[in-house]
Structure 1
Amino acid sequence: MKAADIARKRILVTNDDGINAPGLEAMIDIATQLSQDVWVVAPEYNQSGAGHSLSLTHPVRARQLTTTKFALEGTPTDCVLFAVKHLLKDRKPDIVLSGVNRGGNMSDDVTYSGTIAGAMEGCLLGIPSIAFSQPYTHPQGPRWETATEFGADVARRVLAMGIPRNVLINVNFPDVAPSSVKGVRVTRQGVRGFGGHIVERTDPRGGTYYWIAYAPGEHEHDEESDLTSVRAGYVSVTPLHLDLTHEATRRKLAAQFAADPASD
C-alpha cells in the first residue's frame, strides 16, 4: 500500500483510555498525517485492562461529539464492532489504529490490554490494524510528541509491506524525547510477570472490597524483545498472531493420542 493509496483510505481510530484521553488526540494526529478520512469511536469511560471483552449482557449507548467522532459506553472491542458493523457499514474503514495508550503494552501486557484488543478486533474483521502505546515514568507523564513524531512513518512502512491475515502490529515508543530516539527495531513479544498485589479495604458499611494493584514485574533480558528495545531507546514494532495454537505441542499431542486409540 503506497503513501498515495493510504491517503485515500478511511481510518478508524479507537483506544482504551477513553474519549477524553490525551493519547486519543495523539492517535488522531497520527491518523490525520496519513489520511483526511478519519473516524473516531472510543469508549465513554476508561477501559484499561478490559482486554478483548464484549458487552453482551447490557446495551451500549453512543454519544456523537462531531460528524466523525463518537463516544460509546462499551469496550474497545465494542467500539470497533459498532463502527464496522453499524456506523460505517456502508463504507467500512480500511485501517484501524488503536491508542495511543497511556503506558506501554509489551510482553504479558498484551493479553490484558484494551488498546491491543481494539486492533485485534479490527484484525478479526479483516482490516489492517495497528496498536500504539507510549510508555512513561512518573512524575513526568507520557511524551506524546514522541508518538506523534514517529507514529505515522511507522504506520506507512508497515502498511506498505502489507499485514498478513490474522496478524496485527503492536508499536511501543520509548520514554525519551523525539530527538533521543535511536531508531526502530522489529521485535518479539517479551516475557514479564505480574508484579502487583491485591489491596484489601473496608467500605463504610463494613464490607470488604479489593483493588488489584497492577505493577509490571521483572522481565527476561532478550535483545530482540519489545521491552529491551524500548528501554534502550528504540521504537518497538512487534507482529502479533491471533492463532494461539502451539504447533510443537499440538503435533506431540496428536502423536500421543494416535498411539493410544482407546483414549478417543
Structure 2
Amino acid sequence: MRILISNDDGIHAPGLAVLERIAHALSSDVWVVAPEVERSGASRALTLTEPVRVRTVGERRFACSGTPTDCVLLGIDELVKGGRPDLVLSGVNRGQNLAEDTSVSGTVAAAVQGMQMGIPSIALSQAVNFRVGHPIPWHTAEAHGAEVLRKLLAKPWPDGVVMNVNFPDCEPEDVMGLEATFQGFRDECIHQIDRRSDLRGNDYYWIGYRGKLSKPPLGSDLLAIYENRISVSPLHIDMTEHSALLALREGLEA
C-alpha cells in the first residue's frame, strides 16, 4: 500500500512524525508532502495567485510553500513517483477537529482533497487542553492509531466520504473505546479575540478559541472526546441540507 501523508501544522510538526510512524506500521511505501510552515485554519484554500514552491527535505519527504490542499494535489499529481497513492492520511493535528471546527480545518481539508481525487482519505487529530504547560499526549494517538486505521481499512466506505478521527486528551490506557460518531455542533461560539497594540499604537488581533465545553448529545463527536473515547466521524463534502432543499423547492415552485 502506497501512503501519502500531509498535515496543516507544517513539515516539522511533532504530530507529523507521529503519523509517519503510524503509517510505517502499515506500509514501507510512505510519502510526505507537508506545508513549509504552519497553515492551521486554512480549510480548503488553494494557492492560485502565486507560485507554489517545493523543497526536498529527505527521501520521499517534501516541504511545500502552499496550503494542505496544495500539498495533497501536488503529491498525488506530481511528487509521488511510481503510481498514485492508495491512501491519504492527514495529521496528526495538534488539537481536536470536532463539530464546526471541521469546516475550517486544514487537516480535514487535506483529506477531502485526497477523497476528491478518488483516494480513500483519513484525517487524524489529537485532542488537547490548551492550558499553558499542559502536555500534548501524542503517545495516545501513536498507541491507538495503527489499530484504528486497520479497522477502517478493513471495510471500504462510500465514495465522497472522508473519515475524521479524533483521539481524546488522556493517557493511552485511559481511552474508553472507539465510537462511530456524527459531527456535533457547539451550543456556544468559542472564538476568542485578543486585541493588542504595537509600539506605534496601532491595534492588532490574535484570534483563537476559549476552552469552554458544550453539552453535546449522545453519539456526537464532542461527547465521545469529552468521555475519553476515540471518535470516528464519516464526513461528506456535500453540505446541502436536503430537508431544507425540499422545502425550498416547494416554496419556489409554488
How many residue pairs end up in the alignment?
A: 251
Quote the residue 1:161 is aligned against. 155
Q: Which of 34, 37, 44 matches 1:45?
A: 37
TM-score (norm 1): 0.91
1:230 Cα offset (Å)? 1.2
1:89 Cα offset (Å)? 6.2
Amino acid at match of 1:115: T
> Where do residues 124-203 of structure 1 align in structure 2 (5 Å cutoff)?
124-137=116-129, 138=131, 139-192=133-186, 193-203=188-198
Q: Which of 207, 215, 219 matches 1:224?
A: 219
Query: CA deviation digits over 1:188-208, x for unaligned, max 9?
Result: 111124323322222333333
Quote the residue 2:96 is aligned against. 104
Q: Is the 8 A contact 2:195 2:203 kept in 1?
A: yes
Alignment gaps of 5+ in structure 1: 1-8, 260-264
TM-score (norm 2): 0.94
> Where do residues 23-34 of structure 1 align in structure 2 (5 Å cutoff)?
23-34=15-26
Determine if the alignment matches structure 1 residue 121 to structure 2 residue 113: yes
User: SS of the counterpart of 1:233?
Assistant: coil
Q: Which of 86, 92, 112 matches 2:84?
A: 92
1:144 Cα offset (Å)? 1.1
1:52 Cα offset (Å)? 1.0
1:121 Cα offset (Å)? 0.6
Determine if the alignment matches structure 1 residue 250 to structure 2 residue 245: yes
| Whole-angstrom CA distance in 2 between matches of 1:103 and 1:63 | 27
Q: Is the 8 A contact 1:190 1:219 kept in 2?
A: no
1:90 Cα offset (Å)? 5.0
Alignment gaps of 5+ in structure 2: none
| Whole-angstrom CA distance in 2 between matches of 1:19 and 1:88 | 16
User: SS of the counterpart of 2:152?
Assistant: helix
Percent identity between the two aligned chains: 47
Runs of 4+ more than 4 Å apart: none
Q: Is the 8 A contact 1:196 1:216 kept in 2?
A: no
